[in-house]
Amino acid sequence: MRDFNEKTITDAVIQRFIGAGDPRVKQVCESLVRHVHDFVRDVRPSYEEWEYAIDFLTRTGQISGPARQEFILLSDTLGVSMLVDAINNPVDGKVTQSTVLGPWFVDDAPVFELGADISGAMRGEPAFVSGKIESEDGSPLAGASVDVWHSDDDGFYDVQQLDKLGGAAGRGRFTTDNEGRYWFWTIKPTRYPVPTDGPVGEMLHGQGRHPWRPAHLHFLIRAPGHRKLVTHIFDSTDPYLDSDAVFGVKDELVRDFAEHPAGVAPDGSRREAPFATIAFDFVVAKQG
């Protein structure tokens, strides 16, 4: 078939997938082409707009790297990440709700002993974080891997300022004790804007949106025989809880930071300056 037009091109493209050996690949590609073609017919872009779209995606790839994933940020800010999360992690009983991974996760985080301070050279109010990890049947998950990461008091993650900090900070990996407990010191997180110096920032500006995320701690929990849990703990006092730029807030994940004067901390150590504490118990779903 030749001489394709606006009405015939979609089916012609889909017909070319007839030889796909994987049914899932064929299904995904057919759906993608139908939706993209319908979108183009709906908005009817000019050549200049089409060229801008190609350039936007090109620049999104070019700015991405080991320390920054602009495509994940694009997915986050368009609500796609949370949609995928909702599809793959339906709310089920007492299991802790999940939320977005975000663009700043690092798979080779430094390993710490329980009770260590992961703040490194980051500035901010000292904070003691504690809780326990349980299976959905209520049994403690001993030996679970707990990744934690967060921004500093200026709203930047360590991977955005490695030279300034001299290495990883506000990031670490722990292993729960025999009772499934975890605890560590760091600094109290603060709200921050997602990066706006790239294509995603350009998009947010064009959409008339702010780039702010409410203050939070990231957690990634892995335990044998259980589904991986990616989630946050949010600060209940943050003004951006209802307008998170990546749509990641869930009521269950919002907690109060308790403020304390200098003195004895929950782990028995003596603190010479005021500090905050927050506790959160996670429930992880069994592998299906």
Determine what percent of the chain is predicted with pLDDT higher than 70: 100
pTM of full prediction above 0.85: yes
CA distance 27 to 18: 11
The one-letter amino acid at 30: E
Per-residue confidence (pLDDT) for residue 272, from 0 to 100: 96
- Residue from 178, 171, 180 nearest 280 by CA: 180
Q: How many CA atoms lie within 13 A of 267 on its CB side?
A: 21
User: Which pLDDT tens digit goes with each residue over 58-83?
Assistant: 999 999 988 788 999 999 999 999 99
Per-residue confidence (pLDDT) for residue 59, from 0 to 100: 98
Q: Which of 89-93, 220-224, 233-237, 254-258 has the lowest mean pLDDT?
A: 89-93
Per-residue confidence (pLDDT) for residue 79, from 0 to 100: 97
Pick the CATH number of 71-284 from 3.40.50.300, 2.60.130.10, 3.40.50.10070, 3.40.50.10330: 2.60.130.10
Where in the chain are all domains bearing CATH 2.60.130.10?
71-284
Per-residue confidence (pLDDT) for residue 171, from 0 to 100: 96
Per-residue confidence (pLDDT) for residue 184, from 0 to 100: 98
* Residue 77, SS3 per DSSP: helix
Is residue 109 very low, low, confident or very high in pLDDT (cuts 50, 70, 90)? very high
Averaged pLDDT score across all residues of the chain = 95
Q: Where are the alpha helices (DSSP H) in 135-268?
A: 162-165, 199-206
The one-letter amino acid at 227: R
Comparing 163 with 263, the larger pLDDT belongs to 263
User: Which pLDDT tens digit goes with each residue over 130-188?
Assistant: 999 999 999 999 999 999 999 998 888 988 887 788 888 899 999 999 999 999 999 99
Determine what percent of the chain is predicted with pLDDT higher than 90: 83
